[in-house]
A = this chain, B = another copy of it.
C-alpha cells in the first residue's frame, strides 16, 4: 500500500505511532516496535539518576525509528518548553509531542496553556504535535499557531476507554487543516480501526500494546487495525440504514 502520511514535510509509511513505556522488558519493546511496523516512537525526557548513567533505550532505537520526545507530566508551559528544548539538544530533533497536563489525576490536557506553549515552541523552530482534547476550536487554534498535527485524546490516558466521543473526533478530523493523530485511550484493535474510519490520519498507541497479555501479538493487531481503518476510510463505507436490504437475488426462489 502506498498511502503515506506527511507531517511537517516528513513522510511516514506507517500510520501507527507507538509509545515505548511500560513493556515487560526491553526485548519485548523492541519486538513490539518491529512487529508494529511503526516508524515513529515516543520517548520521555527525564533527569538522569545521579547514581550513574546506564545505557539508554535510545541507543537501541536510534537509526531504526524516528524519535518523538514528549513533555509528559509537565503542568506548566515553562517546564514543557524547557523539556522540549532539552529533548531537542539530547536527540537532535525538533519534533516534540507537547503535553501540558491540567490535572494530575486525569492527565487531561490544559488546552489554554497548550496553545501558548505551542505558539512559543513553533516560533523557536519546533515541529509541535500537541496532545489535546477533541475540541474543534482548540484544534483549530493549535493549527493556527503552526502545530504540525493535533493529537486529540480518544479517552483518558491509559484507560483503554476507546473513543468516547466519536462524533467530536469526526468533527475535528473534518475541519482540521493539519493531520489528526488519535492519542490516548485506544484499548484494542477495533478502536484503532474506528479512529482511522472517523478520519484520523494516524494513531498513537502505548499502554494497549505494552500491557496486553501478549504485547507482540497486540502490536500486530494494532498494525492491522490501523491499516483496516485507513483502507475502509479510503474505500468509503456503506451508509447505515435502519432497514434490511437483501444481498441475495430476490427473484427466482425455489417455492413449493
In this complex, the interface size class of chain A, counting residues with CB under 8 Å from chain B, is 35 or more
Asked whether A218 and B235 contact (CB < 8 A) given A103-B140, A106-B244, A240-B159, the answer is: yes
Which stretch in A5-13, A59-67, A122-130, A164-172 binds the other chain? A164-172
Nearest CB in chain B to that of A1: its residue? B220
**1/0 per residue A104-143: CB within 8 Å of B?**
0111111110010000000000000000010111101100
| Contact (A232, B237) CB under 8 Å given A103-B136, A246-B158 | no
Question: Out of B109, B137, B191, B232, which one reaches A218, CB within 8 Å?
Answer: B232
Q: Mark A232-250, 1 if CB is under 8 A from B, else 0.
A: 1011111111111111111
Say whether A83 faces chain B, with CB atoms less than 8 Å apart: yes
Assess A158 versus B221: contact at CB under 8 Å? Given A213-B235, A247-B207, A254-B79.
no
Chain B proximity of A103: nearest CB distance (Å): 5
The count of identical subunits is 4
Q: Would you call A237 and B212 a contact (CB within 8 A)?
A: yes
Chain B residues, Cβ within 8 Å of A158: 241, 244-247
Cβ 8 A contact of A159, one of B105, B188, B242: B242
Whether A212 lies near B240 (C-beta < 8 A) is: no
A98 within 8 Å of B (CB atoms): no
Closest to A141 in B: B112
**B237 pairs with A187, CB closer than 8 A:** yes
24 contacts between A and B (CB under 8 A): A45-B254, A46-B249, A46-B254, A47-B253, A83-B254, A105-B244, A108-B244, A109-B137, A110-B137, A111-B138, A135-B135, A158-B245, A159-B241, A160-B239, A165-B168, A189-B232, A190-B194, A192-B228, A193-B193, A212-B237, A218-B235, A220-B235, A225-B229, A225-B232
